[in-house]
Amino acid sequence: MSLLDVCRSLLLGCALLSAALVSAAQAKHYQVLHSFSGSDGASPNGDLVFDGAGNLYGTTVTGGANRRGAIFKLSPAGDFTLLYSFTGGSDGGGPETGLAIDPATGDLYGTNMEYGTYFAGCAFKLTSAGQLVPLHEFNNDTDGSAASATLTRDAQGNFYGTTLQGGTSNGGAIFELTADGGYQLRHTFTGADGAGSSGRLMLHGTDLYGTASGTIFDFNTNGTLTVLYAMTAPPNALSGGVARDRKGDLYGAALAGENGYIYKLSPDGTFSPFYTFTGGADGRFALGEMLFSGKKHELYGATDRGGAHGDNGTIYKLDLKGNFTLLHGFAGAPDDGAEPAGGLVKRNGKLFGTTIRGGSNDMGTIFAVSTK
């Protein structure tokens, strides 16, 4: 072998080693934990939830045995289990929300938007033994329909949620659900106080903070709703719910402008853009609820579009001074996810979430990404 050949071999070996090291670093920083195939669910769109043992639970909008959506479990070791496939009967179908958990029993609670007796979806419980129990069937004419936000559990074990439609003014509603299925309509939106609430309610004490089309509100569990801020133009720009820091500032996403922005609402009512997306590597149009980490005073979130690897979305971090850090830019199928839409959950220094598209079958993924 000539000296030139030896040099070429050494260079090739160094290049391969470098590529392997980069691949290992990326695998440590970001990982696709599961790619959906259809029979095990497709298009996961809701928030994930952990149990005390580190198992991860969520829902898919479609797929499963009946193509009406599914509930799944992912163990800490990465083992995937299909727990339930919706039928489109009294159990409803098409769950676009995630799940809430009773930590004492391991029972999972959720809602779906479609099917049921009144074709308006239902609220359900999946017991730790795997039995699905319909708790309430929504009726657009009386109590709301199209529940599209993950339920929020209070300290007493009651659940609160919102609907996009229905109620006495057909502008959506806030409802309360007990663990055994007792249902109460707590507030009906009139338009003046917003309409079509779709973001998850954020509980602080006895106050539930949320958004509707055009408003950011505070609903006290005694039944009083206070509009904290009303958008002027465009009035329907708010996306998802809100996160709250220790000072009482609220943060959320708005779809206004060319690429959307993150806003901050102070306790005195001052509303201001906090970070404006460029539409480049940082992404555009943030969707889902932001996650606030109390220890490091950081906000985490996702955009479903933009990024440096096609129009597939990003995961980002913001400190409370508005400094932006890109954590991951999605590349799409077959090796990566695309369009993250649900909220993120955090455990052991990693963020976990889902994408609607991408993965080996382009039917969505579950992913983990480091916060560093």
Paired residues of 187 in beta bridges: 174
Q: Measured in whole angstroms, how far is the alpha carbon of residue 54 from the centre of its chain?
A: 18
Q: What is the pLDDT of residues 271-319, one digit of tens each?
A: 999 999 999 999 999 988 899 987 778 999 999 999 999 999 999 999 9
Contact 342, 56 (CB under 8 A): no
159: pLDDT confidence band, cut at 50, 70 and 90?
Answer: very high
User: Mean pLDDT over all residues of the chain?
Assistant: 90
Residues 45-93: tens digit of each pLDDT: 999 999 999 999 999 999 999 999 999 999 999 999 999 999 999 899 9
Query: How far is residue 299's CA from residue 317's CA, in Å, rounded to a whole number?
Result: 6
pLDDT digits 0-9 by tens, 6-46: 344 433 343 333 333 333 344 569 999 999 999 999 999 99
Q: From residue 72, give the alpha-carbon distance in Å to each of 52, 88, 266, 299, 346.
A: 16, 17, 38, 27, 18
Q: Average of pLDDT values for 152-180? A: 92
pLDDT category at 236 given cuts 50, 70, 90 is confident
What's the confidence (pLDDT) of residue 12?
A: 38
Tell me: pLDDT of 238 over 60: yes
Span 172-192, pLDDT tens digits: 999 999 999 999 999 999 988
Cite the beta strand spans of 141-206 per DSSP E.
145-147, 152-153, 159-165, 173-177, 183-188, 202-204
Let me know how long the chain is. 372
pLDDT digits (tens, 9 = 90+) for 122-152: 999 999 999 999 999 998 878 888 888 899 9
| Residue the block writes with tokens 């298009």 | 43
Give me the pLDDT at residue 28, please. Answer: 66
Question: Contact, 344 vs 366, CB < 8 A?
Answer: no
List of residues 6+ apart from 199 with CB closer than 8 A: 149, 162, 210, 211, 238, 239, 240, 241, 242, 252, 289
* pLDDT tens for each residue of 339-364: 998 889 999 999 999 999 999 999 99
Reported pTM: 0.90
pLDDT tens-place string over residues 215-235: 999 999 999 999 999 988 787
